[in-house]
Amino acid sequence: VVDNQALRDEIKALLKAKNAVLVAHYYTEDAIQELAEETGGVIADSLEMARFGAEHPAETLVVAGVKFMGETSKILSPEKTVLMPTLEATCSLDIGCPADEFAKFCDAHPDRTVVVYANTSAAVKARADWVVTSAIALDVVQHLSDQGEKIIWAPDQHLGRYVQTQTGADVLLWDGACIVHEEFKAKGILDLKAIYPDAAVLVHPESPQSVVEIADVVGSTSQLLKASQTLENETFIVATDRGIFYKMKQASPGKRFVEAPTAGSGATCRSCAHCPWMALNSLELLRNALRDGTDEIHVDESVRVDALKPLQRMLDFKK
Ligand code: CIZ
Ligand code: SF4
């Protein structure tokens, strides 16, 4: 489309003029992921987005994703300007874990180490001992459990239960959920397996336990992407946001990728998974933010300093 092309050209010129780089999540629309690729930015999960943004020399980071990802970038790179296509893009996990209530919960269990998922506000991270993403959650909790530590896990109860099951750690769960992954249904996936018996089932651990139990591979977006490349199967049933298909198809053009159903009522995918907040990111809003400097992320300095500690712990752990 000509209009789209003009918009893309405008964004490319603005990125150069503002010494900015585009950091896009796997769940954003194809056009945004393409643009990140074409302009020397990155398409990544939240862990790699944060790392990339912190290490890149650009003065401005444009973070296409949801708000906690922009905040994480700002926490790690306070000297950089962090823009987002829209600050309205949030996350049900972030919403479901208000900082004041969470602080009370932690205060009531002072003997527990506080581990929070990256999908939280800066203020919640500031109350934590550790921040983890799904790519690193098992390793960190195993490490803590091996040292005899008892844990508070927040906010995603499904990921928390998965981590608890896999590590045997003593985990107290907050009761949050991702509205996208929580909708995947084991029955719908099994119906699809009947059509594609050789398919591998790839599941993000924010999905319910019954879905995790029928997975061939459970992992973060980056781990599922890797599995889609390394496994020999021709067909993959994928239980995560369909935005990931852009990279999966690009990496393995000969393979078939099928969206895991969320309706549970049969093999036809009626309401396929796509995060409504990720979907708010558009080329147009991205252009506006870059052009006008709107939708800039600000994090209170005292919160930032406290949130940096558990985040840095995660980044150092992985090295
Ligand atoms: O579901 C999300 O928001 C994910 C997978 C975030 C991330 O860690 O990349
Ligand atoms: Fe949050 Fe789920 Fe959307 Fe990810 S997919 S940003 S966890 S609501």
Confidence of residue 264 (pLDDT cuts 50, 70, 90): very low
Does the structure show a pLDDT above 60 at 305? yes
Report the interhelical angle of 67-76 vs 46-55 (nearest 10°). Answer: 40
The amino acid that residue 78 corresponds to is P
- CA–CA separation, 215 vs 42, rounded Å? 28
Atom of ligand 1 nearest to the CA of 181: 1
Q: What is the pLDDT of residues 133-181, one digit of tens each?
A: 998 999 999 999 999 999 999 999 999 999 999 999 999 999 999 999 9
Query: Whose CA is closest to atom 3 on ligand 2?
Result: 275
| Ligand 2 proximity of 273 Cβ (cutoff 6 Å) | no
Please report, for residues 39, 92, 155, 273, the alpha-carbon distance to residue 32 in angstroms, rounded to integers and kept in the order given.
Answer: 11, 22, 28, 18
Please report, for residues 187, 233, 239, 254, the alpha-carbon distance to residue 61 in angstroms, rounded to integers and kept in the order given.
Answer: 42, 38, 30, 34
pTM of the model: 0.94
Ligand with minimal distance to 72 CA: 1
| Ligand 2 proximity of 178 Cβ (cutoff 6 Å) | yes
Position 269 scores a pLDDT of: 47
**ipTM of the shown complex:** 0.96
Strand, coil or helix: 236 = strand
Does the structure show a pLDDT above 80 at 112? yes
| Ligand 1 proximity of 203 Cβ (cutoff 6 Å) | no
Atom of ligand 2 nearest to the CA of 156: 7
Kindly report the number of other CB atoms within 10 A of residue 5's CB atom: 9
